[in-house]
Amino acid sequence: MHPKALLDACAELVAQALTFEHPADAVVSRYFREHRNLGPRERGTLAETVYTVLRKKTLFESLARSGSGARERRLAILGFAGPRSFVKSALSDQEVQWLDDCDAIAPASLMPQHRHNLPEWLVEPLQAQVGEQFEQLAASMLETAPLDLRANALLIKRSELQKELKEAGIKAEPTPYSPWGLRVADKPALSRLEAFVKGRVEVQDEGSQLLALLLDAKRGEMVTDFCAGAGGKTLAIGATMRSTGRLYAFDVSAHRLEALKPRLARSGLSNVHPAAIAHERDERVKRLAGKMDRVLVDAPCSGLGTLRRNPDLKWRQSPKAIEELTAKQTAILASSARMVKSGGRLVYATCSILPAENEAIAKAFAAAHPDFVPMDAGELLAGLKVEHAASLCSGGDSGSLYLRLWPHLHQTDGFFAAVWQRK
């Protein structure tokens, strides 16, 4: 594709993404469906350009003021995800000079908001939590996430999968914490691999794998994944149960559960029962009251722990949206807790890094439900042979009450989990 045409396409896609009417990945997918003539390399450049602009929007908008031409074109030039020489061949002499001037600015001389590229309302709660590590955290959230894979323990050992991927030309390293995980630096096409087609491997962030591990579901148990979505954790839990017992995958979105079906078919699991529910007080939920050995509530949340993958979320969320989410989280946790039998385990989790969605919800639940006794996540993970388990946790007297994962410390998405046992 000619450089000028590719830059024009980037500008068009940037303009669509910056309306924030839809998630960025949906905008990109739709654009690719409408432009089927694009090759894989062009698609890669287009997607990465959009994500770079979303990551560094505050900085780029400031730099764009000194340029000329349409705003989205200037942003696309600054964020262009390809060789500078390539994009410069599509620019006027004046634009080349402007781009050189922008590229020459030393990061250390930038104003804080142009370094961290976070909306103002997010800065304070994050600084309050991580203190001097704030710059490090902000920088980590501007990076692209690696690709984490999970070996399906029902069908293959991690070491065997690593060998199989190597034979297919994919270099994968074991994840430091999850016993099932492999980390891949680039973005190989997995869907054609035999290991993928036969269900031996799934794409899943290491943090998400640790949530499934923390539930520690056993053979023959009755288990519910309460907000199953497309089922990444459901599949991991089913494998720990060795495909025995019953595993309910509930979600209010039938559409999301549909996405689970092909993954389920590949996985070799026969104990998973997906079911769409109307709301957290659905009749199906009531019928299972007091019957579950384990319940995982991976609650709907802001997703702000996934900014490396979904940088648009920081611009699409707001304090008001967080307030609405916390009300929903409180209701879902209280309702799903009714399903847990005496002696059973409840895990509340989010992929958020905000205390309002995490510790605040967990503390309020514990205060309102004295029959649920908090369990130490660090101790549980150490018992499951997770290395450096205490370093993955925070809170409580021992400092390891909650699982608390951070991109800058653990190279995972940002995750939180609290665990209780019903008396």
The residues, ordered by sequence, that sit 6+ positions from 5 with a Cβ below 8 Å of its Cβ are none
Is 393 annotated in the active site?
no
Angle of helix 3-17 relative to helix 24-34, nearest 10 degrees, comes to: 140
134 touches 126 (CB < 8 A)? yes
Q: How far apart are CA 388 and CA 315, in angstroms?
A: 34
> Pick from 210, 230, 223: which is nearest to 380 by CA?
210
Q: Is the dihedral of CA 239, 241, 246, 250 positive or negative?
A: negative
Q: Which of 10, 102, 351, 393 is catalytic?
A: 351
| Residue 404, strand partner residues | 416
Q: In sequence order, which ranges of 241-318 are alpha helices (DSSP H)?
A: 254-267, 283-287, 313-316
Question: Residue 420 corresponds to which tokens in the numbers above?
Answer: 């209780």
Task: State the SS3 of 328-397.
Answer: HHHHHHHHHHCCEEEEEEEEEEECCCCHHHCHHHHHHHHHHCCCEEEECHHHHHHHCCCCCHHHHEECCC
| Residue 138, strand partner residues | none
DSSP 221: -
Which DSSP helix (H) or strand (E) runs through 26?
helix 24-34
Q: Which residues are catalytic?
A: 351
